[in-house]
Amino acid sequence: MTVYNFCAGPAMLPPEVMNKAQQEFLNWQNLGVSVMEMSHRSAPFLAMVKECEASLRRLMAISDEFDVLFMHGGGRGQFAAVPLNLHLDNAPGVYIENGIWSTGATQEGARFTTVEGINVRNDDNGQFDIKPVNQWLLPENASFIHYCPNETIDGIEIFDVPKHKTAPIVADMSSMILSREINVDDFDVIYAGAQKNIGPSGLCIVIIRKTLLAREGLPCPSILDYKIEAKQGSMYNTPPTFSWYLAAEVFKYLEANGGVQAMEVHNKNKAAILYDYIDGSDFYSNKVAKHCRSLMNVPFWLKDDNLNAEFLAQAAQNNLVALEGHRLVGGMRASIYNAMPIEGINALVSFMEKFAKEHS
Ligand SMILES: *Cc1c(COP(=O)(O)O)cnc(C)c1O
């Protein structure tokens, strides 16, 4: 029995990786102990993390101008770490607000620094829509520009990258890292909680331009301090070792399967199948403008909300699980990260067709 798990996060991981982790769970590299039972400073673990970083650098073509940090605290840890580390006196943290997560980042930033929120939603036509990036009015004076390229809850993705003359561009890529090709040089800080496209929760990857480590910032807990983590090889304290190991396995798996380029083709195919079906149906709808539809998170609504509970129950009976939309937007949401196979999309569409026919 194959269950297709559409959870937004923690999300499904590649079955190949999960099977390998199971096989070596009690006895990693023939050491007679589990990877989670050994010192993070032992030679085998250090060799693993070195290769993990090298693998991520190859996958994303990350140059030597960047450090890669493996931190604690997920995406939200970075909502605090970004303003604490990047704050400049007399310059606001500028937050692009394009959905629920980026607005959450603004609120957290406001606890530590002066923030300027810029709403770039353009929902006047009754759709979830985003103003084109070149029409965003960014102030000249900013400590940093923070935005979220993929809004996991709203199902909105921004494919262009904002530019600024002086301020670093910071991107919360928690739900789209490694899903399509990006040019890392267009950014200054990229961060991503692991539990959507990388591995188990607890780990957060931060890719940071080395020149930014010179910023003094604000007094900051050592565990969130980029300078300290960079200096200590992300081992200021005990890192989330099992999550780190699993991330390394996912990277290996991605490299063996065509890398990010292949993932992008795979993800665009999957999203097209689902959106095309929804657009062609008069039973389901998606409210996001076409140019900014997420490749990773596909929200959809039934024409009658009273059918939601029955839809979810029948979907689960058909081994299609975790389709309930986020409580803030309602409806359904299919999260279709890298690990979701095309078979899962086909199974979902077949079920949706059948359900619509029976309830029209
Ligand atoms: C899931 C998510 C987060 C929060 O991650 P946590 O690890 O739970 O803190 C932040 N930003 C985005 C875009 C997300 O999808």
Going by C-beta distance under 8 Å and a sequence separation of 6 or more, which residues neighbour residue 310? 359
Q: What is the pLDDT along the chain (360 residues), one digit of tens a residue?
A: 899 999 999 999 999 999 999 999 999 999 999 999 999 999 999 999 999 999 999 999 999 999 999 999 999 999 999 999 999 999 999 999 999 999 999 999 999 999 999 999 999 888 999 999 999 999 999 999 999 999 999 999 999 999 999 999 999 999 999 999 999 999 999 999 999 999 999 999 999 999 999 999 999 999 999 999 999 999 999 999 999 999 999 999 999 999 999 999 999 999 999 999 999 999 999 999 999 999 999 999 999 999 999 999 999 999 999 999 999 999 999 999 999 999 999 999 999 999 999 998
Query: For position 90, which CATH number holds?
Result: 3.40.640.10
The residues facing 193 across adjacent strands are 204
Q: Token digits for 354?
A: 């059948």
Range of the structural domain that residue 128 is part of: 15-256
Residue 3 lies in a domain: no
308, containing H or E segment = helix 308-317
How many domains does the structure of the chain reveal? 2
Q: Which residue of the set 67, 136, 196, 270 is catalytic?
A: 196
Do the domain assignments include residue 8? no
Q: Output the CA 358–ligand 1 centroid distance in Å.
A: 37
Last residue of a domain, one of 225, 256, 287: 256
Q: Specify whether 150 is located in the same domain as 30.
A: yes
Q: Are 156 and 205 within one domain?
A: yes
Residue 241 in any domain: the answer is: yes
245, 199: one domain? yes
Contact between 178 and 197 (Cβ < 8 Å): yes
Measured from the Cα of 74, ligand 1's closest atom is: 7
- Are 72 and 173 in a shared domain? yes
CA-closest candidate to residue 68, choices 161, 198, 261: 198
Residue 350 lies in a domain: yes
| Cα–ligand 1 centroid distance for 82 (angstroms) | 14
Q: Write down which residue in 235, 256, 277 finishes a domain.
A: 256
Q: Cβ contacts of residue 274 below 8 Å, gap of 6+?
A: 298, 334, 336, 345, 348, 349
Query: At which of 227, 256, 285 does a domain end?
Result: 256
Same domain, 252 and 326: no
Whether 316 is in a domain gets the answer yes
Residue 23 forms part of a structural domain: yes
What 8-state DSSP symbol labels residue 326? P
The pair of three-digit structure tokens given for residue 212, joined into one six-digit string: 């930014």
Closest residue by CA, ligand 1 atom 7: 74
Minimum CA distance residue for ligand 1 atom 4: 75
Overall pTM surpassing 0.85 (yes/no): yes
